[in-house]
Amino acid sequence: MVRRVRVLLLTALLLVTGSVVWSAPASAVIGGSKSTYGPWAVRMLVDGKPACTGTAVAPQWILSASHCFYEQAEPIADKRISFRIGNLDMRKGTTVRPLPGKRVGSTADMMLIKVPPMKIPTARLATAPVHVGQTVRQYGWGATCTEDENACQSPVLKQSNLRVVRPDDPRCKGYTAPGGPDFCMEKVSGIPAGGDSGGPVMSVAPHGAETLLGVFNGSDRETVAQAGEISQQLAWIRSVIRH
């Protein structure tokens, strides 16, 4: 059976071990590449340690995966969470923290977190669904190896290219289905892994013209990955960030 692990596992490992060894990868993601662009990408930390990725979708709102905010099925306290923004190298970014009690989850694996105003570009939201055969680009600071994922978290933003496949593709069985909240992708160059969860899946377009298509929430670390679809959650996102 193909191993599929949501990044919640990595978060749990980080919180148990209490340490991360920074390992600058020769290539980013697992087999991907180092990003040269991604101003809306946000690195999430728990207790100061790398955990997940997110996207700035409004000046005071970050979108990530809901499962990143739970530890052993219990919510992680706001005071333990921080975000690094404004730099592709998370060690050089600015720290922002959640406003207490201002995070909102959806019925899909998505979480909106309100923070103080951020002076960074925000991602435009997709209004149309992805289509089969579409090439997309995933961004994150997650693992670059398949062994001890908390020992190879990337300090610099990295990316992978993937291609949307049918939700009922046999490789995606048990994870996506027609009419469900997630879409399935196959590896083109690189595959997202632990620490990338919650990160942006964007359309491939000139810088500043891309749109946020999905929120990455799991992969088999080999050939396929899935993401929550933005277009299906657009009304919810807009309703939350208005307040």
Query: Per-block average pLDDT, block size 10, for the chain (243 residues)?
Result: 39 34 39 90 97 98 97 95 97 97 95 98 98 98 86 93 97 92 96 95 96 96 96 97 87
| 3-class SS of residue 60 | coil
DSSP 238: H
Q: What is the token pair recorded at 221?
A: 């670390």
Provide the b/e sequence for 38-60 (b: ≥16 CB within 10 Å): bbbbbbbbbeebbbbbbbbbbeb
Q: Is residue 138 within 8 Å of residue 199, measured between CB atoms?
A: yes
> For the domain bounded by 124-230, which CATH number is listed?
2.40.10.10
| 3-class SS of residue 123 | coil
Q: What is the token pair recorded at 93?
A: 């970014």
State how far the Cα of 42 lies from the Cα of 51, in Å rounded to an integer: 11
Q: Residue 239, exposed/middle/buried by CB under 10 A (0-12, 13-18, 19+)?
A: exposed
The per-residue pLDDT for 145 is: 85
Concatenated DSSP letters for 75-100? EPPGGGEEEEES-SBGGGSEEE-PPT
Say how many CA atoms lie within 13 Å of 31 toward its Cβ.
11
Nearest of 147, 152, 182, 149 to residue 166 by alpha carbon: 182
State how far the Cα of 197 lies from the Cα of 70, in Å rounded to an integer: 13
Q: Which residues, 6+ apart, have CB-to-CB distance to 235 below 8 Å?
A: none
Q: Is residue 197 within 8 Å of residue 68, measured between CB atoms?
A: yes
